[in-house]
Amino acid sequence: MNQIDSLPAEIHSPEANLVALVTGANSGIGFAIARQLLDRGATVWIGSRDLDKGERAATELGTGARAVQLDVTDPASVASAVRRVGELDILVNNAGVNPGREDIAGTDIDQLRAAYETNVFGVISVTQGFLPALTRSAHPRIVNVSSGTGSLTWASGPNPQFDWQAPKGTGLAYRSSKTAVNAVTLLTAQSLGDTFKVNALAPGLRRTNLVAGMSIGGDPAEAAIGAVRLALLPDDGPTGALWSWDGTRAPW
């Protein structure tokens, strides 16, 4: 399957009452994903490392939005969020960091570790924590927000879409961590089976805090459409793939 159909008219069924958690949802793409899930009738937990920011975001989003303190790099915070959220149908692992545009010569090892702590180990930790709740769901969905710059296919070949210098604002730490997220997504999908739908999203370059100080990039809401499409996949939908924000399948 190389193309995902447009968003369904409703979430599985009007009485589904699905519950979603979006990490890093107080701003940027995560905030836009939360808004669109709320618009489609889900209850959405706004995961935020800073609870005050999460509560302000939840207030702005309105009915159905709830804030939960969640630092994906802190096991105690993850465990506390699991207890507070309870039942869950949709997990969107959106929280991420971008240390900068350094190549192998300029990459600081501590920054590299920090990128992996959030972008990779955080995804695994949160997924593991919420796995029991997701297993109880009739329609468990996991969406890992990755990056097209993490695609080894797009980064290689005679005419790479992304060489080491492109796009602006990303470097070895960020891009290699997203390659790892892609691998985690595939292996998670394979291990959980077809009841789960586990997919990664390449959202495209967006105007977010991840690329602070840059004026380039598209509307985060456009990328959020792709994430919501994956979050609301029907039971016969695809799993274990990387998808571009526009609904087309991207190469690993």
- List pLDDT tens digits, range 12-24: 554 468 999 999 9
Instruction: Report the mean per-residue pLDDT for the chain.
Output: 89
pLDDT band at 239 (very low <50, low <70, confident <90, very high): very high
Number of residues that make up the chain: 252
Taking residues 77-100, what's their average pLDDT? Answer: 96
pLDDT band at 206 (very low <50, low <70, confident <90, very high): low
Q: Is the pLDDT of residue 102 over 70?
A: yes
Q: Would the pTM of this model clear 0.75, i.e. be above it?
A: yes
Helix (H, G, I), strand (E, B) or coil at 33: helix
Indicate which residues carry an active-site annotation.
174, 178
Instruction: Give the separation between CA 232 and CA 109, rounded to whole angstroms.
Output: 38
Bin 11: left if φ > 0, else alpha if -120 < ψ < 50, else beta. Answer: beta
Q: Is the pLDDT of residue 216 over 90?
A: no
pLDDT band at 8 (very low <50, low <70, confident <90, very high): low
Q: Is the pLDDT of residue 100 over 90?
A: no
Q: Are 142 and 242 in contact (CB under 8 A)?
A: no
Q: How would you class 83 by CB atoms within 10 Å of its CB: exposed for 0-12, middle for 13-18, buried for 19 or more?
A: exposed
- Residues 175-186 pLDDT 10s: 999 999 999 999
Q: Which fold has domain 19-250?
A: Rossmann fold (3.40.50)
